[in-house]
Amino acid sequence: MSFSLGKLFRVTVFGESHGVGVGVVVDGCPAGLNLSESDIQVELDRRRPKNPEISTPRTEPDRVRILSGVFNGFTTGAPITMVVFNEDVKSDYYELIRYRPRPGHADYVAYVKYGGFNDFRGGGIFSGRVTVAMVAAGAIALKLLSRFGIKIVAHTVNINGIEARNYDLSDINSLEEVVERSPIGCADPKASEEMLGLVKKVGEVGDSVGGIAEVVISNLPPGIGEPFFDTLDGDLAKAFFSIPGVKGVEFGVGFKAASMLGSQYNDSFSLANGRVVTKTNNSGGIQGGLSNGMPVVCRVVFRPPSSIRIPQRTVDLIKYEEVELSLSGRYDPCILPRALPVLRSAAALVLVDHLIISHVMPRVLR
Amino acid sequence: MSFSLGKLFRVTVFGESHGVGVGVVVDGCPAGLNLSESDIQVELDRRRPKNPEISTPRTEPDRVRILSGVFNGFTTGAPITMVVFNEDVKSDYYELIRYRPRPGHADYVAYVKYGGFNDFRGGGIFSGRVTVAMVAAGAIALKLLSRFGIKIVAHTVNINGIEARNYDLSDINSLEEVVERSPIGCADPKASEEMLGLVKKVGEVGDSVGGIAEVVISNLPPGIGEPFFDTLDGDLAKAFFSIPGVKGVEFGVGFKAASMLGSQYNDSFSLANGRVVTKTNNSGGIQGGLSNGMPVVCRVVFRPPSSIRIPQRTVDLIKYEEVELSLSGRYDPCILPRALPVLRSAAALVLVDHLIISHVMPRVLR
Amino acid sequence: MSFSLGKLFRVTVFGESHGVGVGVVVDGCPAGLNLSESDIQVELDRRRPKNPEISTPRTEPDRVRILSGVFNGFTTGAPITMVVFNEDVKSDYYELIRYRPRPGHADYVAYVKYGGFNDFRGGGIFSGRVTVAMVAAGAIALKLLSRFGIKIVAHTVNINGIEARNYDLSDINSLEEVVERSPIGCADPKASEEMLGLVKKVGEVGDSVGGIAEVVISNLPPGIGEPFFDTLDGDLAKAFFSIPGVKGVEFGVGFKAASMLGSQYNDSFSLANGRVVTKTNNSGGIQGGLSNGMPVVCRVVFRPPSSIRIPQRTVDLIKYEEVELSLSGRYDPCILPRALPVLRSAAALVLVDHLIISHVMPRVLR
Amino acid sequence: MSFSLGKLFRVTVFGESHGVGVGVVVDGCPAGLNLSESDIQVELDRRRPKNPEISTPRTEPDRVRILSGVFNGFTTGAPITMVVFNEDVKSDYYELIRYRPRPGHADYVAYVKYGGFNDFRGGGIFSGRVTVAMVAAGAIALKLLSRFGIKIVAHTVNINGIEARNYDLSDINSLEEVVERSPIGCADPKASEEMLGLVKKVGEVGDSVGGIAEVVISNLPPGIGEPFFDTLDGDLAKAFFSIPGVKGVEFGVGFKAASMLGSQYNDSFSLANGRVVTKTNNSGGIQGGLSNGMPVVCRVVFRPPSSIRIPQRTVDLIKYEEVELSLSGRYDPCILPRALPVLRSAAALVLVDHLIISHVMPRVLR
C-alpha cells in the first residue's frame, strides 16, 4: 500500500480495473479555484481510446463525478473526491489468468505480495485503468498551473525506433497543437504516420510495441525542488515510475551525457530580456535537483504492453508446472497515445505540490 | 529542505562541503545489529579518491564518529547519528564563484532559492561531499541486508562511449571482486584500462567526462515495493536522482524497450529449483513496481562533472553581465569510480526501508 | 488540509455535512480480512441518533457503500473506499450563518482560513458528520483488532457534574454490555438515568451540555508506541482532538497526578500468571509513551455543543457590526452518546497503525 | 522509532542520557534568520537546574555546538544540526536497574520493545535529557516566532494542590517577567513560595511531586491548524505528550467544560479595535482545531517524577521474581521548573511548522 502522492497537495487514488470504479481524493488543493466536472472530463476524454484501430475495444464513457470539495463552483480547501464508475467490465475471462500469471504483467508479484487475496480481474490495482484517477487529479493540477502560466506537453518521440525528429520545443503552444492533431501524439507529422502504420501492423498480429515520450514543462520559475532528497527530477521520476509500463526516465540529453565532455555538456549562463538563461539546455532545466528557469525536458520509456495474443510460456501457480498461455481479446498494442495525458497529469501533480511547498502557489487563490 | 529519506528506516543527512562536517541520523534501524565505527569506515574508505591521477587532490581522512544509537556494540533501536568532520577545507577561492555561478552546477539555483543566504563554499549542500553521509548510513543498511543474504554491486559500464561488455551478472560475488580490482570500478578488464586512460587524458586538459553505472541487487525476495506510488523502481530512481550528477535511470533493458515487441520483451515465467523464475530479465527484476525475485538491474547515467578548468561563460549576478569564468585547482574528471559506493548506499537505504515496511525485516534482530 | 491519519494504516476522510456525502479511503489494511458492508454498517448504526428526545432530528439512514478494496468477501491489500451519501439535507437555513458565525463553532475560523470559499452549510468539513467517515474506517480497524483479542470500550463518565461511579473496568466484555444498554452510554445505571434526565431538560430549553468519556483498551501487548514523538498517548490524543468538541485528554489518573506524590503514583511491578503487571494503573497503561501491557485508560472531555437555540451575540462579517444570532431547529443537546463510537474508532485507527509499525500485525492475514 | 516532528519545519532529535551527547537536526528552517550559538544557549540555560535545593545534582554545562546550516551568521536553508555533549555522566549505578525496572519509568517497556538492546543507562532515550534537543530546536523556533510578534510563556499553576490564582494573562510580557523571577516558574508570588517549600520538603524525604503547567501563546493569527487531523490543538497535545512525564493536556477551561452549558461556554464574538475577538476565552483560542486569534491557553499535567529514593516494589526480569528497589542518589523532586522551557519549545516547534504550512511564515526571511 501507498496510494498517496505528495506532501501538501496530496492525492490518494483508489479503485480496480474491474471493480465498482476508480477515483481519487485530492487533499490540499488551494481554495478559490473555479472548478466543474467538465474541467475534469476534458482531460479524461484525452485519455480515452481515440483510434479503434490501435486501441482496446473496452469503451468506457469515463464520466467523472465530484463527491466533495467543490461548492458554488469553487474549490473550498477541503478534499476533492472524484469517482469514475466502471461500466464496460467483462471479468469472467480473467479466471484463466488467476493462477497463470501473464509474462511481463504484475499478476505474479501481486499474487505473492497479497497472498492470493488480490483482485486479479483485469490486473486489479496494477491495471492502467487506475491512471484514470491520476488524470482526474491531474486535471485540477493542470488548471492550477495554468493560473501561473506553467504549461506541460507530453508527446511521442519514438516507437520501435521510428523517431520524431522534426519538431520545435521553442513554442510550447504550437507544439501542443501539433501533438493534439496526431492520433499517436507525435509532433513530427511524417514520423506520426509511420508510427501509426507500425502500431496497426503490430496490433494485427497480436503483438505490442514500446516507445518513448517526452515531457516538456515551460515557464516554471527557478528554484523549485527540495534538496537533498525531494529533488524535482527525483520526484518527477518517481511519479512517472508509478505509471504502468514505465522503465526509464532521463532529463535533458539524458543517457547521452555518458558520452559528453564537461565542456560540451555544461549549459553556459547568459542574459536574455533581463533574465538569466542558459544557451543550451543539456541538463533539461534542472540543476542540483532544482529547476533553473529553462524548460524542463525529460524522456520516459514505456515497455511494450504485456498483454499480447501471441502464445507465451508461464507457470501454473497451483499445479506448479510450466504451461502455455494464450490470451484472446484485443489489447492496446501501444500505450503511448493514451499514456501522454497520464504523464502530463503525473508531472502536474508533482509540480503543484512543489510550488505550494516553495510558497510560489498560495493556499487560497484570489 | 527535505534532507530525509525513507518512511520507517529514515535517514536525515546534514552538513556542507566546507562547513564543520557532514553527518547523518539513521532513525528506525532495527535493534540488535552489531555495529562499530569500523563497519562504517570500510564503506567510507571505498568512497575516498583511490587514484590520484583521476581524482581531486582534496584528501580527507573521513573518519566517522558514532554519536548515538549504539550501545555495547549493538544498535539499540534509537537513532544512530554519525559525523565526519571536514578537515582539508580551502574556501577562500570560492568567493570568486559567489556571484558567478559555475555552468552546470547548482550555484545559480541555490542562490535563487535561498535568497543568497546559501553556503556557496564548495557548493555547500549541493556538493558531492554530502554523499559521505549517504554512504555512512548506507553502510548500516548494507549490513542489515547482508543478514538477509541480499547483496548490491555497482559497477561502471560506460565512460564516454567505452562500454563494458565482457562481464557476468550470474555470480554476484565474483562480479564484486572484479569490480573492486578495477581503479574505475569496471568489471570488464579491457574496458577498464581504456576508461582509465581516457579519464586521465580528459583530466589533464582540464575537462571532465560522464558515464553510466549499473546497479545489481541479488537475492531480493519477490513482492517488495508498495503500489501505487511507492514502487520499488520509483523509490530507487528518486534516491539515485538525489546523488549529484545523475540525469537518468532505467531498469532492465531500459530505453531499449522502445524498440522491442511485447513478444520479445515479456519475461516468460518458468520453474527452477522449485522457484518461479523468468527465463530472461528484460524488466530488470521489477514488475508493476514490485520485485519479482530475479536480480534487480538498473542503470544510472552521470553527467560530466561541472567543475572544469577550461574557461566558460557565465553571468555576474551583481553586475548583471556576462563574464568568463576560469576555475583553477583540480577536480574529479570523472565521478563514476567514487559514485559507485554512493549508488550502493542509496539502493541499500531504499531496500531496508521497503523490507521493514513489507515486514520481511523485523524491528528487532536476534 | 490534512485529511489523512496514520503512517502505514492510513485513512483519508472526505465529504461535507451538506454535500454529496462523506467517505473515507483506508490505505494499508492487511489483505485477507473478511469484510462486508454489514461489518461497517453495524458501527455506523451505533453512531446514529438513538433517542429522539436527546438528538438532532436529522435522520440519515447512513447506508455505507464499499467502492474498492474488497474482493470475494476479503480485503485485497488495496485501498478500501467507503461512501455514505447524504440524504436528509436542509441547507437553506445556513445562509443565515454564512457571515454571522455561531459562537463556539468553527464558522469564523473556516471563513478566515479559506477566504470565504468554505462550504459553510452545516459547518461543512467541521461538522460532526465527517465522523461518519472515521467510524466507517474504525469498523475495519476494530475488526482487525478483534483478531488480536484487543478490545476498546468508550463510555460516558460525567455529564454536567453527574459522575458515573459504580462500574467495573476489570471485565471489559461486561462493561461493554452495560454501556450498550444505556441510552447515554453510561456504565453506572443510576448515573445514566440522571444524565438522561438532565440532557432532556437542557435540550428542552434550547441549551446544550458537555461531558467526559472514558476510553478503555484491553489486551494491548506491551511496547506499542514509537518514541520519541510518535508516542501512543500522543497519537491517541491527536486523533481524539480531531473529533469536533474535544477539549482535553488525560491518561490514567490524569490531572489528578498534579496532587500526588511519586510514592503514591508509581505503579509497582509485580507478577501475575507469569506476566509482568502493575498493581495499580495510575499511568493508564502507558509509560514513556509506550503501552505497558495493562489496560490503556484515558478520559476525553467534550465541550457543550455550540449550536443552541438560546440567542447569542456574534459579529456580522460583512457589515462588521455586532448582532444577535437566534438559531431555530433542534440540535444534539449533548454529543457524548453519539461520540462514543467515534472515540472507539479513533482509538482503533491509531492502534492498528501502531501494531503494523511494531510488526505485531502482519500485512497479510491468514 | 520516530524521532522526527513536523512536516515542513522538521526536527529530528537524537542521543541518550549517558551516551556521547544529545542533539537535533532542524530541517526546513527558513533561510535568512540571524542565528548564533548564544541564541541557543540562552534557552538551554533556562532548562538547567537553577535551584540546587530542588534539582538533580547532575550539573551539565550544556554547551551547544552548531554543526551545520548557519553561515556568516545567518541560516542558509540547509539543515541546522546542534549537539550538546554529555559530560557529567555516572553510569555504573544503572546496572542495578538493568533488569529491575523502576516503577513508573520506561525501563520495562523499553526492555520489551527493544529486546533488551536498549541503552538503559539513565533511561537512555526515555530520559528527560533528550529534551535538551527539543529546547535547542525550540530556541530557533522561538526566534522565528518573535519575528512575527508571537510569544509563548509557560508557567507553573499547580503543584500538589497549591494553585497559582493571582496572575494576569492580559499582558504576556509582564507575565513572562514575573514567571522568570520565580524559582519554580509560578506567576503568583505567594503560591510560588508555598510550592517551593513543598518541593523542598518532598525532596528531602526522597519523594517527588507532580504539577500542572499552563502554556499561553499570544498574537497568533486566526486560521492556523490543518483540518481534519492536523488540528492545532491535536498537534500541540501530541508534541507535549512526547515530553517525559506528561499525562494530560486541556485547552481553555478544559475538563471544566464537562460541567458547563453551551450558553455559558460559547465565546461570543465581538469587535475590538477593528478586529473580531471573543468576549470570553473558554475555548482557549482554538475552534474546530484552528486558532481564532485569541490567546491560545492550554494546561499540561506532569506526573511526579518516577525516580524516588523511597523503596519500591518491582520485578527482576531475569530471575522473574518480585524484589525491592532502593535508588540512591538525588533526583528532581518536581520537574515543573525545568519542564517549562521544554513546553515553550515544543509549542514553538509546532507553531512554526503550522505557520510555514499556512504560508504565514515564508521559506526565506528578508
DSSP labels for C137-162?
HHHHHHHHHHHTT-EEEEEEEEETTE
pLDDT score for B57? 65
Contact (CB, 8 A) for C18 and C122: yes
**pLDDT at residue A57, rounded to an integer:** 66
What is residue B53's predicted lDDT score, i.e. its pLDDT? 73
pLDDT of residue A43: 94
Residue ranges, chain B, pLDDT below 50: none
Residue A151, domain member (yes or no): yes
Backbone angles phi, psi at C157, to 5 degrees: -115, -10
Does a structural domain hold residue B95?
Answer: yes
Residue C63 is placed in which grid cell?
447506508
- Per-window interface: B 5-34 vs C, CB < 8 A: 7-8
pLDDT, position A317: 95
CB-CB neighbors (< 8 A) of C362 in chain A: none
CB of C39 within 8 Å of any CB in chain A? no
pLDDT in tens, D95-116: 788 899 999 999 999 999 999 9
Task: Give residue-wise pLDDT tens across range B41-93.
Answer: 999 998 887 777 777 766 778 899 999 999 999 999 999 999 999 987 776 66
CB contact under 8 A, C288 and D105: yes
Backbone angles phi, psi at B79, to 5 degrees: -60, 135
Instruction: Average the pLDDT over D300-309 and give the result.
Output: 96
CA distance, residue D223 to nearest chain A CA (Å): 12
Of the candidate ranges A52-66, A163-177, B134-148, D174-188, the one whose mean pLDDT is the lowest: A52-66
Instruction: List the one residue out of D13, D16, D243 whose CA is nearest residue D122.
Output: D16
CA D196/CA D194 separation, integer angstroms: 5
DSSP, collapsed to helix, strand or coil, labels residue B298 as strand
Chain A: give the shortest CA distance to residue B284, in Å. 9
Does any CB of chain C come closer than 8 Å to the CB of residue B360? no
**Number of C-beta neighbours around residue D256 at 10 A:** 16
State the burial class of residue C221 (Cβ atoms within 10 Å of its Cβ: 0-12, 13-18, 19+).
middle
Does the pLDDT value for residue D89 go beyond 80? no
Q: D323-357: per-residue pLDDT in tens?
A: 999 988 778 999 999 999 999 999 999 999 999 99
Residue for grid cell 489468468: A97
Residue D55 has pLDDT above 90, yes or no: no
What average pLDDT does the segment A335-362 reach?
A: 97
For residue D270, the SS3 value is strand
Question: By the CB < 8 Å criterion, does A156 face chain B?
Answer: no
* CB neighbour list of residue D241: distance below 8 Å, 6 or more residues apart: C231, C233, C234, C237, C289, D249
CA distance D187 to chain C (A): 17
Per-position b or e across A94-112, b if 16+ CB within 10 A of its CB: beebebbbbbbbbbbbbbb
Assess C360–B contact: CB distance below 8 Å, yes or no.
no
- List of chain D residues whose C-beta atoms are within 8 Å of the C-beta of residue C112: 222-223, 293
**The predicted structure's pLDDT at residue D49:** 77
**Percent of chain D beyond pLDDT 90?**
89
pLDDT exceeding 90 applies to what percent of chain C? 89
Nearest to D119 by CA among D102, D136, D98: D98
Phi/psi of residue B218, each to 5°? -110, 150
Greatest alpha-carbon pair distance for chain B in Å reads: 71
- Look at the block and give the residue holding cell 510558497: A359
Which of C68, C86, C121, C363 to substitute to test the interface with A, most A CBs within 10 Å?
Answer: C68
**In 10 A of CB C89, how many CB atoms?**
16
| pLDDT score at C58 | 66
Nearest to B297 by CA among B205, B220, B229: B220
Confidence of residue C358 (pLDDT cuts 50, 70, 90): very high
* Residue B152, beta-bridge partner list: B217
The predicted structure's pLDDT at residue C89: 72
Domain span at residue C53 reads 4-357
Average pLDDT of every residue of chain C: 95
| pLDDT attached to residue C329 | 75
Q: How far apart are CA D300 and CA D290, in angstroms?
A: 19
Distance CA B347, CA D266 (A): 56
* Residue C192 CB neighbours (<10 A): 23
Q: Which residues pair with D321 in a beta bridge?
A: D316
pLDDT at residue C96, rounded to an integer: 81
Asked if B160 reaches chain D (Cβ–Cβ under 8 Å), the answer is no
Question: Which residue out of A27, A29, A359 would a mutagenesis test of the D interface target, given it has the greatest number of D Cβ atoms within 10 Å?
Answer: A359
User: In chain D, how many domains are there?
Assistant: 1
Given a contact cutoff of 8 angstroms between Cβ atoms, the answer to whether A231 and B249 are in contact is no
Nearest Cα neighbor of C141 from C293, C45, C5 is C5
Average pLDDT score over chain A: 95
SS3 C125: helix
Measured torsion, CA atoms of residues B28, B33, B37, B42, in degrees rounded to the nearest 10: -100
Q: Are D228 and C278 in contact (CB under 8 A)?
A: no
Contacts of A109 in chain C (CB under 8 A): none
Query: What is the per-residue pLDDT for D58?
Result: 66
Whole-number Å distance between alpha carbons of A321 and B271: 7
Question: For all residues of chain D together, what is the average pLDDT?
Answer: 95
Average pLDDT over residues A199-216: 97
Q: How many residues does chain B have?
A: 366
Q: Picking from A38-52, A337-351, C169-183, which range would have the lowest pLDDT averaged per residue?
A: A38-52
CATH number at residue A173: 3.60.150.10
Each residue's pLDDT tens digit, B339-362: 999 999 999 999 999 999 999 999
- D298 neighbors D212 (Cβ within 8 angstroms): no
pLDDT number for residue B193: 97
Give the pLDDT confidence score for residue A58 in this predicted structure: 67
CB B301 within 8 A of CB B212: yes
For residue B128 the three cell numbers come to: 558531492
- The DSSP string of B171-222 is -HHHHHHHHHHSTT-BSSHHHHHHHHHHHHHHHHTT--B-EEEEEEEESPPT
Does some domain include residue C306?
Answer: yes
Whether residue C72 has pLDDT greater than 90: yes
The C-alpha cell 482496446 sits at A56
Q: How many CA atoms lie within 13 A of A227 on its CB side?
A: 31
Q: Residue C36: exposed, middle, or buried by beta-carbon count in 10 A (0-12, 13-18, 19+)?
A: exposed
- The H or E element spanning position B67 is strand B64-68
Cβ atoms of residues C202 and C161 within 8 Å: no
Chains adjacent to D (≥3 CB pairs closer than 8 angstroms): A, B, C
pLDDT at D97: 82
Say whether residue A329 is in contact with chain D using an 8 A CB cutoff.
Answer: no
Per-residue pLDDT tens digits for C179-232:
999 999 999 999 999 999 999 999 999 999 999 999 999 999 999 999 999 999
D30: closest chain A residue by CA: A358
